[in-house]
Amino acid sequence: MSTAFSQIFDSAWSIFMVILFFGGSIFVHELGHFLAAKWRGLHIERFSIGFGPRLFGWKRNGIDYRVSLLPLGGYVALPQLADMRGIEGESSADMEKMEPISYSSKVIVAVAGAVFNVLFAFGLATLLFFTGQPTNERQNSVEIGYISKSLVNEDGVSVASPSSQAGLREGDVVRSIDGKPVENWTDIHQSIAISSGISDDGRRKIELEIEREGNAQQVTVYPIISQYLKTRQVGLGPGYTVIITKLAENSPAIDAGILPQDTLIEIDGEPVRSIEFFRNAIADKAGAPVSILLKRGEEMIETTVTPESVEIRKDGTRSTLIGISEYTTNADLAHVNPFEQIKQVTITTWETLGALFNSRSDINLSHMSGPAGIIRIFYNSAQYDILFVIWLTVLININLAIFNLLPIPVLDGGHILFATISKIKKEALPPNLVASIQGGFMLLLFSLMIYVTFFDVNRWISDSSDTREYVEQRITPVFGESGEDQSSDTSIDGDK
């Protein structure tokens, strides 16, 4: 009963977070247009969250405040700014009798939505500055902690990992990618994914500057497109401290005297750079003793443990383990200046947009998320980390600001474009022409949203299928005996 109540509460809380932060971001944008229009004396027909038929709302002082059927954005109907009757519905006002508004008023009203999004983002970023954002050594690392031996490419074929072929090593420190300095693993992941380098023989190419044993080196890596992410991947993972938090019962780790809160320092004389590195190090050591150096408090402890090959899935899949059920790494709260937060989010948004329009990049519309995908991320995140939801809202608002100012008809930037053309021509553009262009681009925009939503739903189905298959197949490894299959929530040796 308590579990069911908890699930209902979590769902209700997540829905509330979606409405508050995602819906709030749209509301803030439209509020900017609304207040600017009131300030500049424009006639306001409607203030709508969503498009299409009216679901509910109220009228006050001649303005229809409403929530509409399609939750794909929102609008403030301003007949003097642009003829949007084909999109927003018929206007009760006689547009021909309305006084034309100045160029400055058009620009101010059009820009106001983006300005309010930026102000909202800055306010939330300031809140994050004071509360701090959870961060950890894994996220902040620029050291290579493990190199995959193989990757599955877009054709479903397992191939040697580009990093291993390029001669990269665990312990190398990444300084820049394609000439751009990197400061953390997010930078590294983003730079690889959106890279657009092509070699003379037509292969995808990335130039890494690394530091190895104090010496700078240039390394060329030829990435593949991964089967799951569909982006450029090279088979790298970050380096970080591995702190054991839970051990499996009757496991070799317990027999060797390993305790929760011990830190893995070395295995057979090699520094343990990540849990993945540790797994690779014992992968072919079943039944063979390995030497492990631990840190317990301020004390260094050396012990010997013998890994076991145990069954981890109902289909008979086996893995070599010592019984590390759960682990963590060094964590902290980052108090990042709000200006720096806005700067980083803006750079990331522009770089992603640039990659989207770069024919040499492998980023395309299938990698984008529409309203459905964004709502899903908000919904899932709200159950675990409210601070991440706030950071995500900062990202969404900067995205909304930049996207809406693109000079595309229907968007705010399109209104500015039409106003500027009229200013240069010193005459208004034909209303029918403007309406036709606006309608055509709105149809295109909705088509793109449907296209992106298809991939959002496809990812949702794929993730759900993978999770279900994992839950159905996993079993608790039994050490020291064959044992019977059991279901369990326990991850083993960091295999999360």
CATH number at residue 196: 2.30.42.10
Which of 429, 457, 477 is at the close of a domain?
A: 429
User: Which residue among 203, 238, 273 closes a domain?
Assistant: 238
Please state, as a whole number, how many other Cβ atoms lie within 10 Å of the Cβ of residue 163: 26
Structure tokens at 115: 């300005």
pLDDT of residue 488: 33
Residues 101 and 159 in one domain: no
Per the domain annotation, does 352 fall within a domain? yes
Same domain, 33 and 120: yes
Considering the entire predicted model, what is its pTM?
Answer: 0.85
State the angle between helix axes of 431-473 and 371-382 in degrees (0 to 180), rounded to the nearest 10.
40
Q: Verify that 180 and 127 share a domain, yes or no.
A: no
Q: Quick check: is 366 in a domain?
A: yes
Residues 119 and 27 in one domain: yes
Is 438 part of a structural domain of the chain?
no
pLDDT digits (tens, 9 = 90+) for 172-198: 999 999 999 999 999 999 999 999 999
Low-confidence ranges of the chain (pLDDT < 70): 1-3, 72, 83-98, 481-496
How many domains are contained in the chain? Answer: 2
Each residue's pLDDT tens digit, 357-391: 998 999 988 888 888 888 888 888 888 889 999 99
Q: What's residue 268's pLDDT?
A: 96
CA 139 to chain centre: 13
405 domain residue, yes or no? yes
The pLDDT of residue 494 is: 43
Residues 114 and 151 in one domain: no
At 490 the pLDDT is 36
Domain that holds residue 225: 142-238
Last residue of a domain, one of 429, 449, 476: 429
Q: What confidence score (pLDDT) does residue 476 get? A: 81
pLDDT at 136: 94
Q: Give the list of residues 6+ apart from residue 399 with CB closer than 8 angstroms, or none.
A: 349
Tell me, yes or no, whether 186 and 77 share the same domain.
no
Instruction: Give the tokens for residue 19.
Output: 């409405």
Cα distances (Å, whole numbers) of residue 138 to 56, 58, 172, 298, 341: 47, 50, 15, 22, 19
- Give me the residue label for tokens 């289909």: 315
Residue type at 165 in one-letter notation:
Q
pLDDT of residue 495: 44
